[in-house]
Amino acid sequence: MAKNARRAGSTAAAEATATADAPTGMSGWIKVLLVALLLAAAAAGGLWWWRRTHNPYRRWAADRTARHERKITRRFERCFGGATADAIRHVSSEVRAGRMPSAFATCRGAVLTELVVSPMDFAGDLLRPPGGDGPTRTRERDRLESLGTALAQLQRLVDMLPAQGAPSVESRERLATAIEDLAVDVDNESRSFQEFARAVENSAPSLF
């Protein structure tokens, strides 16, 4: 009888210990749920970071953006003191007024030739984008071609300037008009490339 009582007491004690160790009531389940949510958030954050760093579409667009900066933006900055339409229009106004900004005055020879070929040079970097060709790539290539044509016209007018002395009023006007037209092409190409880069990023499969 005493043995049975001791056995029953041991069983009751074990059950009490197990009950004490287990989550109790609603508060225990809330703790479990919070831990699960934290783990899920950490996993989602890790996936988001992996997608950003391993997304080939994003990496391709970032690489072409860097090349655009190097091959087009910096070359315009060297010749016009800036690569925006406003910066180029400022040069046009100065030329029309009979003043030659220093950056543009030294944009001759190999420096000017490098600028003239920059659109077609960059166009070669846009072959086989991830996700295939699309309307934004076609538009960007058309803008680059138009920009190249405007730069070639600018080069012809610059080459016609006298080596010594000030250019005539007519020469300055033709040159200023060509630079104004160039500013429009620069603005159009810049917008077109930004749209193209965004389109490449957005064409990534749902995995990314």
CATH of the domain at 127: 1.20.120
Do residues 203 and 57 make contact, with C-beta atoms less than 8 angstroms apart? yes
Host domain of residue 165: 52-202
| Helix, strand, coil share of the chain (percent; to 5) | 80, 0, 20
User: How many domains would you assign to the chain?
Assistant: 1
Q: Is residue 84 part of a domain?
A: yes
Q: Is residue 119 part of a domain?
A: yes
Confidence of residue 198 (pLDDT cuts 50, 70, 90): very high
* Environment class of 131 (CB within 10 Å of its CB; exposed 0-12, middle 13-18, buried 19+): middle
**pLDDT of residue 96 exceeding 70:** yes
Q: Is residue 36 part of a domain?
A: no
**pLDDT of residue 45 exceeding 70:** no
Mean per-residue pLDDT over the chain, rounded:
84
Higher pLDDT, 36 or 20: 36
Q: Is residue 72 part of a domain?
A: yes
Q: Is residue 207 part of a domain?
A: no
pLDDT digits (tens, 9 = 90+) for 103-123: 999 999 999 999 999 999 999
Q: Is residue 34 part of a domain?
A: no
Q: Is residue 25 part of a domain?
A: no
Q: Is residue 128 part of a domain?
A: yes
Do residues 126 and 175 make contact, with C-beta atoms less than 8 angstroms apart? no
